[in-house]
Amino acid sequence: MKGSVFCENSTGNHRNIKRDGVRDYPGKIVFGYHLESLAGGCVSRFTASLMESGHLWSNPTLAGDQLFETTGLRSQEMRQNPDDYQNCRKTEMPTAKKIAFFMITTKKRLVVAKRHFMFKTFSAFSRHHQILEKQIQESKYDGLIYTHSQSYLDPVMRWKPQKTVDLLYQEKALMAYNKKENVDSGLKISQNSTEPKENAISEFIINPNRTVTLLREREDKVYPNRVAVVEKIKKIAREEKNMFNVLKGLTVSMMRSYHNEVKRDLLKKGAGHLLDVGSGFGGDITKWDHYKSVTCVDPSYSNIKELKKRLGTNKKVRVIQTRIEHLRGFEKSITTLSCFFCITLIDIDKLIRIAQRTFSDKHKCAFLCIVMSKKYIIEFFEARKVKEHICEAYSIRLESKNKIYIHIPNTIVTNQTEDLVDVDKLIEQFTSIGFKLETRNRLNRNKFMSSNEYLLSCMYESLVMTRTK
């Protein structure tokens, strides 16, 4: 049996490719699979082809245990090293009638082989992991990726033995990738580190003191890690987070992950021009992509400094260091107002007046909020007949009927006293200026948290209120 082959271009249209011939698609890479029957079994043949200005290099191979993916490489290098394709190996494939031919419309691509193991039992998994872990220690690989065998598109889990990032070293700065440009990552090279090659991407180990140590040059990389990836690894290095701490509830990592999901869903409810109150270090930057413009307001100098560093040259985001109660201008220009975990630090009466002044009269507007609820906090302490709750991950103390002390290590919420907010009254105040409650949810819907994280998360509510023009 011979499998039929088709290709799909970037517009989604299909074009046939003959097995005995090759059509000329200058400047594109075309790759796919051929299936043949051999000795009663199915054998797959991987064909990797580079077409540029009529030149074609191809390497069909048989037998092996490789999984292929595309990564970048300049076509000039490819022209100089056509034998690189000799590293391609066959990947085992099930019998199929159709295998897709993908055509990538760029010259900066190359097919790279990655070692691939299939396992069905824990003993097989353990055996393969030991083999690969040894090779990782020898710097042959930098990590492992686990995925379901039936679909490459399923969510994957990645394991790395150490906290590393890939950064571009340029003019004495370590650059990360942010959309279409490189920005300063904020990391500095350790005094004990070897200096990396100029204008080259290298892999670095992140130290707890926010310095990095050169591990090796990454000639296979075209772009450094994205800013979001670098920030996540920096956070892990800073908190020294590990699986034991997470599972034992020694941190609030799982709760914060859940709250980030909630914020992402809430921000999808808004559109147009966003006014974000209490922006902090800018943890929500990646959630603002669909907004036309964003104005960030935060009174903390250190927060603003870090936020600007993370933004780079993002021109659609404006940053203002002030309290929201002191904000000037923006009359009738805002369509979405977000207040996440900060409304307990704000004079709500003044916030209502700011909202009334800045919300547009010509567009649908949205108020998005996550707030610690006075109702649930009082219920928590009254049920336990105590005024303080202390655990490894955080501590909270009821100071009075209207004040609460909260301390969460390794976050910006440290030794902080906040007002307790009557959420029913907050809803009434926004209703008085024409808003209607769309959704109100208690943040208790994610069970993948420790018991202490769950207790704290249950004290919060999320609101979505809207007003039509």
Whether 400 and 433 map to the same domain: the answer is yes
- Most confident segment among 61-75, 98-112, 376-390: 376-390
Whether 94 and 126 map to the same domain: the answer is no
For the entire predicted model, the pTM comes to 0.56
pLDDT of residue 357: 92
What whole-number distance in Å separates Cα of residue 281 and Cα of residue 142?
A: 29
Question: Do 53 and 26 form a contact (C-beta atoms < 8 A)?
Answer: yes
Closest CA to 82 of 106, 130, 50: 50
> Residue 192 is part of which domain span?
164-240
Whether 197 and 271 map to the same domain: the answer is no
315: burial class by Cβ within 10 Å (0-12, 13-18, 19+)? exposed
| pLDDT, the chain, mean | 74
Whether 174 and 272 map to the same domain: the answer is no
Q: pLDDT band at 26, cuts 50/70/90?
A: very low
pLDDT of residue 40: 29
Domain count, the chain: 4
Is the model more confident about 131 or about 266? 266
Whether 297 and 333 map to the same domain: the answer is yes
What whole-number distance in Å separates Cα of residue 7 and Cα of residue 17?
A: 7
- Most confident segment among 70-79, 138-147, 231-240, 381-390: 381-390
**Residue that finishes a domain, picked among 81, 115, 149:** 115
Examine the pLDDT at 24 and tell me if it is beyond 50.
Answer: no
Whether 277 and 374 map to the same domain: the answer is yes
pLDDT in tens, 90-144: 333 333 223 333 333 333 344 445 566 666 676 776 776 677 666 666 666 666 6
Examine the pLDDT at 22 and tell me if it is beyond 60.
Answer: no
pLDDT of residue 178: 85
- Considering all CA atoms of the chain, what is the largest pairwise distance in Å, rounded to the nearest integer? 82
In a domain, 307, yes or no: yes
Mean pLDDT of 349-359: 92
Q: pLDDT band at 67, cuts 50/70/90?
A: very low
Mean pLDDT of 243-255: 77
Q: What is the CATH number of the domain that holds 344?
A: 3.40.50.150
Q: What is the CATH number of the domain that holds 200?
A: 2.40.50.140
Q: Which of 44-53, 83-92, 153-162, 363-372 has the lowest mean pLDDT?
A: 44-53
